[in-house]
Chain A
Amino acid sequence: QQQVKQSPQSLIVQKGGISIINCAYENTAFDYFPWYQQFPGKGPALLIAIRPDVSEKKEGRFTISFNKSAKQFSLHIMDSQPGDSATYFCAAKDNQGGKLIFGQGTELSVKP
């Protein structure tokens, strides 16, 4: 079944804290796992992505951790800032049709 389950649905973090959003999948034919960030009134924007041949990717304060055996991946936002307040979507790409399947989204609020 092509589905990506994302949790939590909403998250409140204090400024300077670590935000962690988790995603799980079942389809082993996924070969690319991006995270998108969406601010109110804007379309989603690609934030960071990982391929299943690596276990971690870091770009600035954003890190993806990938556990292939558990079929799980997560986004960690270090030193969270109020400007990070947005909705975050994980996604997975089907390696056969190229279709991108999105998780349900996590609304992150970083309190000053």
Chain B
Amino acid sequence: ETGVTQTPRHLVMGMTNKKSLKCEQHLGHNAMYWYKQSAKKPLELMFVYNFKEQTENNSVPSRFSPECPNSSHLFLHLHTLQPEDSALYLCASSQAHTGELFFGEGSRLTVL
């Protein structure tokens, strides 16, 4: 496999559920990102990990919890979400500080 792979591609969950999004990159990059994409809005940066260390938390509610066990894997743990959290969640990777992000295809999340 090459590139950035995200699973699941689609997820429907209730407000009391706990689920996780997974991202894996095969590009040898040392930085990984979570972005939220909502309709008619700019891509919103949520979290950044450089060399497995979290370097950015863009005022994201605590119901979103990231985890980066190594430089190739990134998770986003979800619990007690709200309907307004429904969006496309995009994972990306890059060499740190280059700005050349490679995105996965996203996980479409619907919160009922």
Give the interface SS of chain A, mostly helix, strand, loop or mixed.
strand
What's the A-B contact tally at a CB cutoff of 8 Å?
55
> Interface size bucket, A side?
20 to 34
What's the interface size class on B, roughly?
Answer: 20 to 34
Stretch among A14-22, A62-70, A76-84, A102-110 lining the B interface: A102-110
Say whether B97 contacts A98, CB under 8 Å.
yes
Residue ID in chain B nearest A41 by CB atoms: B105
Main secondary structure on B side of the interface with A: loop
Q: Contacts A32-B99, A102-B42 given: A44-B56 contact, CB under 8 Å?
A: no
- Residue numbers of A with Cβ under 8 A of B are 4, 9, 32, 34, 36, 41-46, 49, 89, 91, 93, 97-105
Chain B interface (Cβ < 8 Å from any Cβ of A): 4, 40-43, 45, 48, 55-56, 90, 92, 96-106
